[in-house]
Every structure is written in C-alpha cells, then in structure tokens.
C-alpha cells in the first residue's frame, strides 16, 4: 500500500507539469465612457480583431457579434470553453453579460471570435469596431433624445 501511495505522490508533479497552460482571456476590460448624452461601453480585447458582422434581436436584448482574430496567438489556443464577463453597474446602461467563443465552429471565418451580448433589459444601441482594432464600441441612445446615438452620422 505504501508503495502505491509513493508512486501516486511521485506522479502528481509529472501530471501537473503536463496540464495545458491557462487560456488567455479574450476580453481584457469593460469600461464606460460618457460622451455628452451618449453612454459608450468599450469592450477591450487582448489582441487585434477584424469586425465581420453583427445580428441583433428585434427588442435589443441580445446581439451576436462576429470578429476575426488578427493575431490568434494573443487569445491562446482555440477552445470550446466560453469566457463569460459581466458588466459592472453603470448608470444609464443596462447590465449585460458577454460570452466570448474561440471555437472554430461558431463562424466559418479563419480564427473566429464570436461574442454573444445579453442585456438585462431592452435598449437602443449601436455596435461598431473601435479605431484601435482592439475594442468594440457599444453606444447607448440617451433616454431624452429618443434617437439612435449615431443618427445622422456617416459610416
């Protein structure tokens, strides 16, 4: 019995050294920026991405955003495990959850990064890539104006 116990204890460091490294996070930070009457959420990524497309629910409670990792090694190896981040509490912006997937099955593009954004309540917002290629901007319409935050602006 002692022999077996010694063998098991001796094998533990070997087994632990063979375990894969922790998967890098996709979303580095979630911040709020106030720009006049617009509340902007910035999702900052750990690596550069290329914006592909988005699909939003009619009531505005959910959005799927499809990106392509330009430096896939910055995010770690592709995995079927989802990263989930919850937004901090921000005044004027509904709480939300972002689920990030690096699973190649979520989009046919090479090195896909698929985001599912789920808001706690219906809202009016626009989603667009950040100018730094490392962020996604979500602009929420002000309650007073009743217009989309980017209404009248060219794309």
Rounded distance between C-alpha atoms, residue 33 and residue 25, angstroms: 22
- Contact (CB, 8 A) for 73 and 55: no
Domain that holds residue 126: 33-140
Residue 12: band (very low, low, confident or very high) from pLDDT cuts 50, 70, 90: low
What does the mean pLDDT of the chain come to?
81
Mean pLDDT of 119-132: 94
Does residue 95 lie in a domain region? yes
Residue 88 has pLDDT above 90, yes or no: no
Does residue 92 lie in a domain region? yes
Overall domain count for the chain: 1
Does residue 133 lie in a domain region? yes
Does residue 62 lie in a domain region? yes
Does residue 22 lie in a domain region? no
Q: What is the pLDDT of residue 1?
A: 65
Does residue 136 lie in a domain region? yes
Q: What are the φ/ψ torsions at residue 104 (nearest 5 degrees)?
A: -60, -15
In this prediction the pTM is: 0.74
Does residue 6 lie in a domain region? no
Does residue 37 lie in a domain region? yes
As to burial, measured by CB atoms within 10 angstroms (0-12 exposed, 13-18 middle, 19+ buried), residue 27 is: buried
């Amino acid at each position: 019995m002692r022999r077996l116990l010694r063998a098991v204890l001796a094998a533990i460091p070997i087994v632990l050294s063979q375990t894969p490294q922790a998967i890098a996070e996709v979303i580095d930070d979630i911040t709020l920026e106030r720009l006049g009457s617009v509340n902007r959420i910035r999702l900052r990524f750990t690596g550069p991405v290329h914006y592909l497309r988005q699909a939003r629910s009619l009531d505005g409670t959910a959005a799927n955003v499809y990106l392509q990792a330009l430096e896939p090694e910055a995010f770690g190896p592709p995995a079927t495990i989802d990263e989930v981040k919850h937004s901090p509490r921000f005044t004027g912006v509904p709480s939300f959850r972002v689920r990030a997937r690096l699973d190649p099955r979520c989009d046919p593009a090479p090195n896909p990064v698929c985001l599912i954004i789920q808001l706690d309540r219906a809202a009016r917002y626009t989603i667009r890539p950040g100018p730094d290629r490392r962020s996604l901007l979500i602009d929420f319409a002000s309650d007073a104006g009743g217009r989309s935050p980017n209404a009248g602006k060219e794309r």
